[in-house]
Amino acid sequence: MTEKHIVLEDIDPVVFSGVGGRHIQMLKALYPKLRIVARGNVLKVLGDEELMAAFEDAVERLRHHVLTFNSLDEATLLDIVGGHRQSDDVPSDVVVYSMSGRPIKARSENQQRLIDSYHQNDMLFAVGPAGTGKTYLSIALAVKALKQKQAKKIILSRPAVEAGEKLGFLPGDMKDKIDPYLQPLYDALEDMLPQQKLQDMMEKHVIQIAPLAFMRGRTLSDAVVILDEAQNTTPQQIRMFLTRMGWNTKMIITGDTSQIDLPRPQKSGLVEALRILKDVEGIGVVELTRKDIVRHKLVTRIVNAFEAYDKMAAD
């Protein structure tokens, strides 16, 4: 008799085990001669060495399926264990799968242009109004690169510009003050990676989330680097950020030029960078519009109403 511990790396053990441990019970029924105990992300297995090797192979195929799709149902489990499912090919239009198993992919023509431009260029500017998915899709592309080992780390940044609130009056230390500005980035990551794995990656600095000011002096290599809300950078800040680019790195800069929170008459670094860099080889620019808004239908109406008001006020 041999005892072995199998670690379910990089996946949510709850998805693997199923509701109420249903998947573990199925594995026990399929391998009645093995003693299987699940504790968190570790399977403790006791039994014949040859049978255990077959079980370990089946678990690895199940783990890979969960890693890819963030889901596992009973029919799929039976197919994989029975050797009837030969591959887990992801449809070409899917970037990654969310933690609920939902495919994350382009939902408009311009969103597809964003994905295509990312693959064609080392630096990409994605500009458009709120709700067009520019940040969410960018993070999905970064997560995919990390999963496929095309990048060693993800670096996400935002300028900590005050939009009505005063940073100094917020409670807590510097991390507590800055985290609210970075919360949208945390939200997107939590939708695509298991909570425990995300926390582990952040502790090991595989995923780094930091205010723009923390980028100064660094060279960012072997990474996907995303600068969000870039309309709130100054020309000096965005120039500093863009020149952090190192080897084997892709940069995505997102922003909405209609939501600049910089004090007047401060110029937006994003607006200036777009004007200066638009024709530089290796840099892609994708402009998303109101037609690309994928949030609640009211968001489109709100954006339209404010744009109409701004136009009338300008006249």
The pTM of the full predicted model, rounded to 2 decimals, is 0.82
Radius of gyration in angstroms for the set of CA atoms belonging to the chain, rounded to a whole number: 23
291 DSSP assignment: G
Q: Residue 218 in contact with residue 125, Cβ under 8 Å?
A: no
Whether the pLDDT of residue 32 is over 80: the answer is yes
Please choose, from the candidates 69, 50, 302, 304, the residue with its C-alpha nearest in 3D space to the C-alpha of residue 194: 69
User: In which band, very low, low, confident or very high, does the pLDDT at 115 lie, cut at 50, 70 and 90?
Assistant: very high
State phi, psi for 313 to the nearest 5 degrees: -65, -35
Q: Report the pLDDT value the prediction gives residue 164, as an integer from 0 to 100.
A: 41
Q: Report the pLDDT value the prediction gives residue 161, as an integer from 0 to 100.
A: 58
Percentage of the chain modeled with pLDDT above 90: 61
Whether the pLDDT of residue 64 is over 70: the answer is yes
Q: 139-188, pLDDT tens digit by residue?
A: 999 999 999 999 999 999 988 754 444 445 445 555 565 677 778 888 99
Q: 18-30, pLDDT tens digit by residue?
A: 999 999 999 999 9
- The packing angle between helices 134-147 and 109-120, to 10°, is 40
Q: Is the dihedral of CA 292, 155, 99, 116 positive or negative?
A: positive
Q: Which of 165-174, 246-255, 262-271 shows the lowest mean pLDDT across its residues? A: 165-174
Whether the pLDDT of residue 242 is over 80: the answer is yes
Q: Residue 224 in contact with residue 249, Cβ under 8 Å?
A: yes
Which residue pairs from 291-294 have beta carbons closer than 8 angstroms and sit at least 24 positions apart in sequence?
Answer: 291/108, 291/110, 292/107, 292/108, 292/110, 292/111, 292/128, 292/132, 292/133, 293/129, 293/130, 293/131, 293/132, 294/107, 294/108, 294/111, 294/131, 294/132, 294/133
Strand blocks (E) in 53-170: 94-97, 103-105, 123-127, 153-158
Q: 206-229, pLDDT tens digit by residue?
A: 999 888 888 888 889 999 999 999
Q: Across-strand partners of 225? A: 155, 251
Tokens of 85: 């499912």
Whether the pLDDT of residue 252 is over 60: the answer is yes
CA distance 246 to 223: 9
Mean model confidence pLDDT for the chain: 88
